[in-house]
Each structure stands twice: as structure tokens, then as C-alpha cells.
Structure 1
């Protein structure tokens, strides 16, 4: 358990440092007028693309996918009832990692705006959250029995991690969209919201990694998981 705690603490430390660095460079950008800082601002912006925070988030998602895939494999060898559920989750996190890097969900905005007529909406400025909410609800309903068969401690860990992640990616995203629609996204207040959103996503993923490690170590004590 000591090595597990060390690994999770390391992830938490890295996430905290990235969030603090992003917020600091954004504060310098908006309060001093030094926008780029030789490119460091863009490199550390948690709301940016193809930079350090993005790669860290992709790493977290890939770690979740790998752990889920490992459990799915073990469940399949045991012919366990919910092995397919674990595999689907693993593939889902793999897709989320690709999306985090490529930004597929952002390309849904134009399509959703045209189909639903939300061009002038403030809370749904980033209208990809509509299909996102649908997917979350579908997964939630489909995995009710899966969660029920888990031990209480594992179920609570999984649900807390999922709630934190989904609140950030959907809830705070909508608040940020509302602010951007009214005041634009080029201000420090929006940077605060985007940092909160990305922070909740990172912490949710780290909590999920911690939950998966706890689950695997309890269910398969003969297997040693090292960071």
C-alpha cells in the first residue's frame, strides 16, 4: 500500500504544480501584460492544447484505460459476469485519451448548434455538453447493476471519482461557457474557471486510478502492482 500511496501522491503533486503554474502564468498575462513569457504561458495553460497539462491528462486517461483493461483481462480469465463492462470502460477511457489530445468533442459544437438551434445560448455556448450529458446518463443507467455488485468501499470510491470528473467536465464547463458568452474567454476570471474545470478533471482521474489500484490489490492480492 505504501508504493500505491507514493504513486498517487506523486500524481496529485504533479497535478497541483501544473494547476498552480498555469494560474500563475495567466495572472501574469492579464495583470502585467506579459502575454507569452517566451512561450511558457501557452506551454503551461491548462485550457490550451498539445502542451504539458494536456499530455499529463492524456497520461492519466491512459493509466485508467490500462488498469481497466488489466482488470477486464483478469475477469475474462475467471469468466466473471461483468468482464465486458470492464472492457467497455477501458475502451471508453482510451477514446477519451484520444479526444483529450485531438479535441474531437470541440468539433461537435458546430454540429450541435445547427441541429438544436443553440447558437445564441449562453450556458450551452459549448454545446457538445448535450451529447456529453446523454452519454453520461446512458453509462450511469447501464452500470447500475455493475456498481451494485461492488463492495461498498469500492463503489463509493468509483462514484466519488466519477462525480468529481463529470462535475468538472460538464458542470464547470457550462459555467465557463456562460461567462465566455457574456464576457469573452480572454480574461482572468475565465482562466480561474478553466483551471477549476481542469483541476476537477485531473483530481477525478487520480481518485479513479487510486480506486482501481485498491480494487485490484484487494481482488487479486497475489498480484503486486508497482508504480
Structure 2
């Protein structure tokens, strides 16, 4: 966990000036996005590759030969960052060879750190997160993107890991992968650990496998508290 927190902090330090710059004057160009991703990835890898890890990064692919596996999204929500939308930051997941998982997602705009380890709960900064008492609202605002149906309204917020953290906080009723595009491992894994440790059920569309069973594959997922999960998972793509 300390390694992941250190890497996330290094990324936040590197891209905080960009967050301030783009909050004042957005730059939606691909050049700005590419430059931000490169800066963030370099900052994270300088920390991660100092340890005994093997890293799968969204931008650089596979690096390192260590025994622990790390999946890195240098900036979850790069387009949000360059537009000054305050829903963006690094997402990092790790699994030891013994199978224990850890995850960190930070929001460079708000300064919040979401983190979790296997069996030890999920936290935003020092506050424990739990969806155990969540009820199903009459109108559910759900992360992801699909047509509204019977009180379900999808919202693509542009950052999968941060959307999953919003589910863990109770801000969103659930998350469901957009039908047109599966989520990739660097999009999902850190957010899944955090949401799962907060008490959410993790599953696939219409009973597909648990995405945690095959973390390096593309997945269509449903993530929600127990009371909302059946409603989200039963709706066809």
C-alpha cells in the first residue's frame, strides 16, 4: 500500500499545476491529453519500478519483472483533467503473488485519496466507506452510459475508477459498463477493489463472471450495493 500511495502522490504533484491551469483555461486538444498522460506515467513509474513489481500501464504496456503485479492508469479521466472537470487522477491496483490486493485512486482537484486492501475495508482519506445500509432510490443515477429505463439514468462521467469510488461513497447508485465498449483492466481494477471493500457486489452483465477473477481481461461489469445489483445486472445490453 505504501508503494501505491507514494506513486499516486508523485503523480498528483506532477499534474497539479496542469489541473490548476486547465481549471482556468481548458485545452481539449489531444496534444494536451498526451502530454499529461506522459508526465503522469513517468512520475508513477519512477516510484513503482524501484520496487519488486511488474507493471501494466495504460500508456507504456508491460514493464519490470517483479513478483507483484501492478496495473496503472496514470490519469483516470485525462479528458476531464484537460477540460478542468474536477473528476480525475491516478488509479493504481496491485496484487501480491499470495493474492492480496491493494488499490489507490486520487482526485488531483479535490485532494481526496480513496484506498483499500483485501479484507480491510475501503476509505476516503481516513473515513471508512460502506454501502451496507444503502437503499434503492426511486430514481437511480448510475455511472456508465446507456439509455434510461424505468427510473435508471446513466451518466458517463469520463473516469471509470472515480465513478466506482463514487459508488463506494453512495453518490452513485451503481456502475455499469457502457454497452458499446468494455472496460479495460486499468480502468477497472483499483475502483473494483475499493467498491468491493465498501460492500458492493461485483459482477458481470446477466450473470457473467466476477471481473476480479480475470483482472487483465476486458470486462462488462455491474457494481452496486446488494439492493440495487439485481436491477442493474438483469437489464440487457
Q: What TM-score comes out, normalization by structure 2 length?
A: 0.25
User: Which of 1 and 2 has higher RCO (CA within 8 Å, sep 6+)?
Assistant: 1
The structure that has the greater radius of gyration is 1
More strand by share: 2
More helix by share: 1
Q: What TM-score comes out, normalization by structure 1 length?
A: 0.26
